[in-house]
Amino acid sequence: MEAFAFSVESLGASAAYMMPLLVLLLTGLVLMLLDAFGIRRSLAWVAAVGLVISAVWAWSQSDPTSRIVFFGMMETGGIAPIVHVFITMSGIFSLFFVHDYLKRQERMVSDVYALLVFSVLGMILMANANDLIITFIGLETMSMCLYIFASLFKTEVASNEAGLKYFLLGSFASAFLLFGISIVYGMTGYTNLSMLAEPESLARLTDNLPLFYVAAGLLLIGFLFKVAAFPFHNWTPDVYEGTPTPLAGFMATGSKLAAFVALGVVMKRLDFIAYDKVVTILALSALFTMIYGNIVAARQTNLKRMLAYSSIAHSGYVLLGLCAADIGFKSIIFYMFIYTLMNIGAFGMVGMVESKHTDTDMESWRGLGLKAPYFAGGLAIFLFSLAGIPPLAGFMSKYQVFISAIREDLIFLATVGILTSVIGAYYYIRVIVLMFFNSQGKEPSFNLSFARLPMAGIVILVALILLFGIFPSLILAPIEAAFGGGVSLTALP
Amino acid sequence: MQALYPLIILLPLFGSALIGLTGFMGPGFRKNERLIGILATSAVAIPFLLLVTAFASFDGTPIRIELFNWMKAGDLEVNFFYQLDQLSLLMGMIVTGVGSLIHAYSIGYMHGDSGYYKFFAYLNLFIFAMNNLILGDNMVVMFLGWEGVGLCSYLLIGFWFQDMAKAKAAQKAFIANRIGDFALIIAMFLIFREIGSLTFSDIVAADFGDNAYWIALLVFIAATGKSAQIPLFVWLPDAMAGPTPVSALIHAATMVTSGIYLISRIHPVFLATPEVMTIVVIVAAATALMAAFIAIAQNDIKGVLAYSTVSQLGFMFMALGAGAFTTAIFHVMTHAFFKACLFLGSGSVIHAMEHMHTVKDPQDIRTMGGLGKYMPSTSRTFWISTLAIAGIPIFSGFFSKDEILSSLFFNGYERPLYFAVWGVAVFTAALTAFYMTRVTFLTFNGQERFPQEKHPHESPSVMTIPLWVLAILATIGGFVGIPALLGHPLHIPHGLNDAWLAAEGGIGSTGLITNRASMVEAMHHHHSMEYFLLPFSALLAIGMVYFAFQFYKKHDLAGDERVQRFFGPLYNAMKGKFYIDEIYNALIIRPFVWAGTNIVLWFDQKVVDGFVNGTAAVVTNVGDVFKRLQSGLLSNYILLVAVGVVLILTYLIFG
């Protein structure tokens, strides 16, 4: 076993730190067993309890100094616990909507709960990995589950198409990522991120600059695909459309959060920010992602596709944050958490209206505000927040990202970001106008069933969006503490 | 006790929110008029009692109420901090004291109105805003209150908004005030640019140099809006469309005096610019005289009182223009007592006339007459207040008005212009005595001109008790109103005032205590004049009231015809309110509307909308192009991915 140039916790201590992950693994296995034995009544609750225990356990281990555990493979402390909690919350909030959705679709697929827990596990592995191999394993664990989500309704053509497309393009991207990892390994002899961050390894990487650029490019391509950034975004609308709606919300939030954190960690360890060309690629991708996502979203007539394109646009804002060095990294964790709350809410509500017999075409939502004002009001809050209207949390998250970018002198990108979010406001608010102000005497023909669980989820999410919009420091302060220094987000003008 | 002081600010807000929200949600609560009335009244009465305890224990050092930091942006830091000092304590007691009496009165007056809870929610909100205006320690909190009272005024004037005329009156008030508010915002920008702070203690201590002229002028323009002076006074007479308690509280006793309060608060800025002081005093004299003339020819009981308010506000501004800030605030106080009493009395009369259901216009004094027999309390209190506003000795108005007159007169030795203003003020005071006696006589005495099949009834005691309290205050307010604490002798004032020409340091930055040494000196110098002035104004008032009383006793309503003959063509102008609304309409409003419908509309439709639509068209077209890329075919997607990979790697390796 090779000697590490950094301190690694003993196996005993490592095991303690790994407990929150093991809880997830155990929960997934229990869910599979319960399913196998035909006990399917309260799978969602079992999954929820597992996720909550894991999140609380991880939170209790939060510690400003980051530690390397498990033979240098994983990181704990620092930002790891907070990322763990945020990803788990993405899963928990999705659970509010999944069961009811499947019931309304008359397809009680009980595998989803185990898959959801496993994919959360994969996401956390990927985000908190300290070794590129673990990053890759986490990414694949997550992706496998997501492929199955996309093709969950086996008998439906759209679902099969979505799953197949996602799988093929996803493996394509995994190959690029793996290729990039192997070049890095070839150049330095390491896949361990802490070892790669040593000056000696970094020097070896830059010895052969073109090869380093190929490696960096391939790593970026792999991650850009996972976060649906331009020009690797085109699977997103088709896949989200074919995926059960609440799970599409989960895909758009948890998996992206994990991928962005993993990309941020890799960028930081390999010091990508120091290479102008790499930053240029990232910035160009951010630029086109923001423009493309927003402009195409504005032309959508289907609510679910509109949300899919808007999630591309949001990836653009996060990439913008990634270009802004350390402070940007902080801001994107905040951004993705807030985005998780409002996007799961929006997808969840679309899912509540959808049933086997209705589509998600915007026209059929016309006049919903008159038929069900509180329901439509909830959706309006999610949409307003996505559009970035104060005092909702979506405004604060956009503000943090843009102000970080401006601080790092990315004025042009920030300007484009602000201008394109105006387009964003257009298509989000158009839905609100359709629901409330432009009914043309129509009322939606479909029946709304307000099951208790999803309604509770909506109330909680709306409350959180208002709370964090007015008191953003409730989230910013723990993020600051996790980073343990550097320029503070809260101290920005 | 100190710990309770935040309640002075917060209780009216809680009251407003509680009554407004509960009333909005629960129709059952709405019907419970007594509960609503008690809640609303105590939300104002408790702050009043707190202010009185603060006043009783006041030792000259300002009491601070520090709530929380409002905003912090760069150099600007705004706090929700309040300060109780000589000036704000007095204003606060007037607002909450008169306010709670009017709240109690409204319990009876608004009985049975469908918007009962809304009325009290607005009224409480008004008190909250007014407290911010007068107690705030910085201009931003003051401005919050300034805008807040404007909003409440709008809501309450248009309280019966189903009536188009009333809704329009509300809009007129709001727009006229907005013009003034705009000037105030610019003044605040200027102050912030000059000294980087908006706290009153910094403003009074600062030397603005040449900018003092602009700051003072802009603040005065703002004051002409809120306090109804030329040229922005036109909204106040229309504002009488609101329920009468609103006219009493907002449009007579409190809100309309905010301009006077603000100028007194930052008076060193005004003292630094004699030019603006001259403008103030001329505008004030013109306003007072014009409004008094109009009041003579009005037949609407509230209309007379409205123009009388404009005229009295003119008196207060004359005092400001003479540098007699203490005197202006003194008149604010006495005016609050007798004018609130007059308005509430008129409300009581209107109430009675409405309940007879036989007269078309319950506010027209031509259909009244002889009401005193049926409404003894209303009649007596109305007469007391009339004597007070006319300036009959012993009554409060005499002292404050006499102080204003002598402050003008003594400034005349330095600047002869003030002799002329003094002359206008004396003439206006005589007119005031005449028209107030006229309206009171025609309402309560003489022939009964209402249809005789029914006769009016006195209002319930919940309405008459506040009338009596105010009438007593209107009588004795001149003696006890300004205790020694405020730098005033407790007894008969000597016409003491602050000569702004000679003032050195002026009113202390925290309040009204004045360096009046130089003034006292000037007074000694012209000692004999003082002995002449005091009896002169007293005799003038007594004589005028006596004359008017005898005149209308002899001729009754026909007396108006003789008045008309006396004034000749001028009378028609007075009756037509000098056609100022029509002039504004022709000179400002119609050109403005024309420009709006022609030039601006064209600009909006062609240029602004063109730009917006053009952007939208670009987005749409680009979006359609992009959409075509999204063919749904996997091979196309893979192609795009491949192109992306090739481009990225090419750039990285060869770029």
Per residue in B122-166, pLDDT (tens digit) is: 999 999 999 999 999 999 999 999 999 999 999 999 999 999 999
For chain B, the residue count is 655
- Checking if the pLDDT of A368 tops 80, the result is yes
Residue A312's CB: how many other CB atoms inside 10 A? 25
Give the HSE-up count for residue A157: Cα atoms under 13 Å, Cβ half-sphere: 0
pLDDT more than 70, % of chain A:
95
pLDDT for B27: 80
User: The pTM is what?
Assistant: 0.72
Q: Share the mean pLDDT of chain A.
A: 89
pLDDT more than 90, % of chain A:
56
**Taking CA atoms, what residue in A is nearest to B651?**
A277
CB pair distance less than 8 Å for B629 and A210 = no
DSSP A7: -
pLDDT for B625: 82
Tokens of B277: 């002081």
Nearest to B652 among A164, A237, A277 (CB): A277
d(CA A217, CA A210) in angstroms, rounded, equals: 10
CB pair distance less than 8 Å for A296 and B644 = no
End-to-end Cα separation, chain B, in angstroms: 75
3-state secondary structure of A432: helix
pLDDT for B148: 95
Q: What share of chain B is helix, strand, coil (3-state, %, to 5)?
A: 75, 5, 20
pLDDT for A287: 95
Residues of A in contact with B638 (CB under 8 A): 168-169, 172
Residue with tokens 């540098």: B323
- Residue at B255: amino acid letter: M
CA–CA min distance A213, chain B (Å): 6
pLDDT tier, A490 (very low <50, low <70, confident <90, very high otherwise): low
pLDDT for B178: 92
Q: Choose among B305, B311, B383, B387: nearest CA to B350.
A: B305
Cα-to-chain-centroid distance, residue B33: 28
A290 touches chain B (CB under 8 A): no
**Taking CA atoms, what residue in A is nearest to B615?**
A423
- Checking if the pLDDT of A277 tops 70, the result is yes
B60: alpha, beta or left? (left if phi > 0; alpha if psi -120 to 50):
left
A26 touches chain B (CB under 8 A): no
- Checking if the pLDDT of B461 tops 50, the result is yes
Which of A234, A241, A292 to mutate: most B Cβ within 10 Å?
A: A234
d(CA B316, CA B311) in angstroms, rounded, equals: 9
pLDDT for B632: 78
d(CA B571, CA A65) in angstroms, rounded, equals: 88
- Checking if the pLDDT of B501 tops 50, the result is no
Burial of A423 from C-beta contacts in 10 A (0-12 / 13-18 / 19+): buried
Per residue in A159-205, pLDDT (tens digit) is: 888 899 999 999 989 999 999 999 999 999 999 998 898 899 999 98
CB pair distance less than 8 Å for B648 and A281 = yes
CB pair distance less than 8 Å for A280 and B651 = yes
Mention every residue, 6+ apart, whose C-beta is less than 8 A from residue B458.
Answer: B348, B352, B374, B375, B376, B377, B378, B464
- Checking if the pLDDT of A108 tops 80, the result is no
**A63-67, B366-370, B392-396: the lowest-pLDDT one:** A63-67
CA–CA min distance A320, chain B (Å): 18
CB pair distance less than 8 Å for B619 and A277 = no
pLDDT for B495: 32
**Taking CA atoms, what residue in A is nearest to B622?**
A295
Q: Choose among A191, A137, A138, A146: nearest CA to A169.
A: A146
Cis peptide bond upstream of A231, omega within 30: yes
Residues of B in contact with A231 (CB under 8 A): 640-641, 643-644
- Contact criterion met (CB below 8 Å) for B475 and B394: yes
Mention every residue, 6+ apart, whose C-beta is less than 8 A from residue B115.
Answer: B159
A344 touches chain B (CB under 8 A): no
Boundaries of every domain in chain A: 2-491
pLDDT for B611: 87
Residues of B in contact with A426 (CB under 8 A): 616
Which of B626, B648, B649 to mutate: most A Cβ within 10 Å?
A: B648
Positive/negative CA dihedral, B455, B458, B463, B467: positive
Question: Of chain A residues 380-439, which have a CB less than 8 A from chain B?
Answer: 423, 426
CB pair distance less than 8 Å for A225 and B655 = no
Tokens of A217: 């490019």
Rg, Å, chain B Cα set: 29
- Contact criterion met (CB below 8 Å) for A119 and A27: no
**Torsion angle, CA of A26/A32/A37/A38, rounded to 10 degrees?**
130
Mention every residue, 6+ apart, whose C-beta is less than 8 A from residue B104.
Answer: B37, B41, B462, B465, B466
A280 touches chain B (CB under 8 A): yes
CA–CA min distance A58, chain B (Å): 36
**ipTM greater than cut 0.90:** no
Greatest C-alpha distance within chain B:
110
> Could you tell me which residue, B530 or A117, shows the higher pLDDT?
A117
Nearest to B645 among A221, A426, A493 (CB): A221
pLDDT tier, A3 (very low <50, low <70, confident <90, very high otherwise): low
pLDDT for B525: 60
- Checking if the pLDDT of B511 tops 80, the result is no
A377 touches chain B (CB under 8 A): no
Per residue in B17-32, pLDDT (tens digit) is: 999 988 888 788 888 8
Q: Share the mean pLDDT of chain B.
A: 86
Per residue in B331-375, pLDDT (tens digit) is: 998 999 999 999 999 999 998 988 887 778 889 998 888 899 899
pLDDT more than 70, % of chain B:
92
**A8-17, A86-95, A395-404, B321-330: the lowest-pLDDT one:** A8-17
